[in-house]
């Protein structure tokens, strides 16, 4: 199948899955909601036994349950309890709540499925154990090859219902392969479904997603100089957006997709400009000494954080989009780069040199409350998930550059890319 077909089919399937969700009547709203903003957050104990099928087939109930466990684990909000399911069920086919309660779980995920030819029927339910009640139930019908997408869709529901935070398990990552040509690749957030998006045979850098998830922008040397290109993921067509003399780099879509902030060469050094999404210059944003690169928009579009070496080393600054003076945000290290503004608006993630090695850090949007989240190997290029609860980054801690993801507190850090790569960008739409 062609690249165009793969991308288009995935979007069509996603729409069909959405249409085929069948709601199960739910009881009154639950009190079992995790306070994710509590600084003393304790993870919610949750059990996900193997899914059950009425007949053997090509799908494994254990593998389906593992997808749920992995999603919830990577969120950093759940403790997966591996317990032997109680043998007896309650009256009316309900779970044995008393037996499950003895395992210490607060929430229980149960799934059943059946396969007829290429059709998969999947039913998943979440129960609150202490109150012995059903919280969320959904039935999916679709092609067997889309079983991962169905599970991710339901896990988004679990996240929203039990934490109040939108799930983003259907979102995707774009990144640059760490080979000589450095092509752009796209994969599911957990590393599955890897697809090569460009075939330029040239160096490609710094991809960014359009807000609707249908296209990417990135800098490419496809014409032997650094130009900003756009790639439509439906047609797989590449078109130049900015091919001005000098540098055309670090393009980043505004939150509404109507503008692009990027670095353009102004006389000698690169400065920040704002362009239309078609590449026409709207305004020049920075005018100071030094090189200004790597812009990132605030979620409300009112400000941009960026990197400037005006003080002699790369530091992170913030500037209002509608005019005003830049404010320096970083002072604790001589080298700070790669800022990315959290979709929640509260934090900036960035790369900082700490004790001679690059580490991923966060700080508040005013530069306070610095936190170092990584400490193994060299870690760079943080990119927030669209719900602001996870981020992707590049690390060489295992001897080669891979894309990792971690929760917002840095407690869980897991490699996900099946190939070497760098410069991850997390899609902004939740699907």
What residues contact residue 252 under an 8 Å CB cut-off, 6+ apart?
208, 260, 261, 262, 295, 296, 297
Handedness of CA 87, 91, 96, 98 (dihedral sign): negative
- Tell me the pLDDT of the chain averaged across its residues: 91
Please give the radius of gyration of the chain, using alpha carbons only, rounded to the nearest integer.
23
The CA-atom distances, in angstroms, between 140 and each of 61, 154, 172, 249, 290 are 15, 9, 21, 43, 55
pLDDT single digits (tens) 82-108:
988 887 665 667 899 999 999 999 999
Name the E strands within 210-364.
215-220, 227-232, 237-242, 248-253, 259-266, 269-276, 281-284, 292-297, 303-308, 315-320, 327-328, 336-341, 347-354, 357-364
Give the pLDDT score at 44.
Answer: 95
Distance CA 89, CA 92 (A): 8
State yes or no: pLDDT of 185 exceeds 80: yes
- Which residues on neighbouring strands pair with residue 204, listed in sequence order? 220
CB 296 within 8 A of CB 349: no
Distance CA 249, CA 36 (A): 36
What residues contact residue 53 under an 8 Å CB cut-off, 6+ apart?
59, 61, 112, 113, 114, 115
Q: 3-class DSSP state for residue 260? A: strand
Of 357, 404, 369, 411, nearest to 385 by C-alpha is 404
pLDDT single digits (tens) 258-272:
999 999 999 889 999
CB 73 within 8 A of CB 390: no
State yes or no: pLDDT of 424 exceeds 60: yes
What residues contact residue 416 under an 8 Å CB cut-off, 6+ apart?
173, 187, 189, 190, 191, 392, 402, 403, 404, 405
State yes or no: pLDDT of 287 exceeds 70: yes
Higher pLDDT, 105 or 55: 105
pLDDT single digits (tens) 326-350:
999 999 899 999 999 999 999 999 9
H-helix or E-strand containing 378? none
pLDDT band at 16 (very low <50, low <70, confident <90, very high): very low
Q: What is the pTM of this model?
A: 0.91
State yes or no: pLDDT of 9 exceeds 60: no
pLDDT single digits (tens) 17-48:
443 433 333 333 345 788 887 877 899 999 99
Q: What CATH code is assigned to 3-163?
A: 3.40.50.10070
- Burial (CB < 10 A; 0-12, 13-18, 19+), residue 120, is buried
Give me the residue spans of the domains in the chain.
3-163, 172-426
Rounded (10°) CA dihedral 268, 269, 270, 273: -70
Of 213, 266, 210, nearest to 15 by C-alpha is 213
Distance CA 44, CA 66 (A): 17
In the CATH scheme, what is the homologous superfamily, with its name and number, of domain 172-426? TolB, C-terminal domain (2.120.10.30)
Distance CA 65, CA 53 (A): 12
Other Cβ atoms less than 10 A from the Cβ of 278: the count is 10
Overall residue count recorded for the chain in this entry: 431
- Burial (CB < 10 A; 0-12, 13-18, 19+), residue 224, is exposed
CB 296 within 8 A of CB 340: yes
């Amino acid at each position: 199948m062609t690249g165009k077909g793969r991308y288009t089919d995935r979007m069509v399937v996603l729409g069909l899955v959405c249409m085929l969700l069948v709601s199960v009547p739910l009881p009154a709203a639950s009190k079992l909601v995790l306070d994710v903003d509590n600084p003393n957050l304790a993870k919610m104990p949750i059990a996900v036994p193997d899914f059950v099928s009425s007949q053997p087939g090509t799908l494994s109930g254990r593998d389906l349950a593992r997808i749920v466990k992995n999603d919830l684990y990577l969120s950093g909000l759940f403790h997966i309890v591996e317990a032997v399911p109680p043998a007896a069920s309650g009256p009316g086919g309900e779970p044995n709540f008393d037996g499950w309660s003895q395992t210490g779980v607060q929430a229980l995920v149960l799934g059943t499925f059946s396969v007829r030819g290429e059709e998969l029927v999947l039913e998943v339910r979440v129960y609150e154990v202490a109150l012995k009640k059903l919280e969320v139930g959904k039935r999916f019908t679709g092609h067997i090859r889309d079983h991962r997408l169905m599970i991710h869709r339901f896990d988004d529901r679990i996240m929203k219902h039990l934490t109040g935070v939108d799930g983003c398990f259907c979102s995707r990552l774009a990144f640059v392969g760490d080979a000589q040509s450095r092509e752009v690749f796209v994969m599911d957030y957990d590393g599955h479904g890897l697809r090569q998006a460009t075939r330029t045979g040239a160096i490609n850098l710094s991809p960014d997603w359009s807000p609707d998830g249908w296209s990417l922008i990135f800098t490419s040397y496809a014409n032997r100089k650094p130009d900003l290109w756009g790639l439509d993921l439906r047609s797989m067509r590449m078109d130049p957006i900015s091919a001005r003399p000098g540098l055309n780099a670090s393009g980043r879509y505004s939150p509404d997709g109507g503008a692009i902030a990027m670095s353009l060469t102004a006389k000698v050094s690169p400065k920040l400009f704002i362009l239309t999404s078609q590449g026409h210059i709207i305004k020049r944003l920075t005018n100071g000494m030094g090189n200004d690169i790597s812009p990132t928009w605030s979620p409300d579009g009112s400000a941009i954080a960026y990197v400037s070496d005006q003080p002699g080393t790369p530091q992170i600054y913030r500037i209002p989009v509608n005019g005003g003076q830049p404010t320096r945000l970083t002072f604790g290290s001589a080298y700070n780069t790669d800022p990315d503004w959290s979709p929640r608006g509260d934090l900036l993630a960035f790369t900082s040199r700490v004790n001679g090695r690059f580490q991923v850090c966060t700080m508040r949007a005013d530069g306070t409350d610095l936190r170092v989240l990584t400490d193994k190997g060299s870690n760079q290029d943080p990119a927030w998930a669209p719900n602001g609860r996870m981020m992707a980054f590049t690390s060489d801690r295992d001897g080669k550059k891979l894309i990792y993801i971690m929760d917002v507190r840095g407690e869980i850090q897991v490699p996900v890319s099946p190939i070497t790569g760098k410069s991850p960008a997390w899609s902004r739409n939740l699907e």
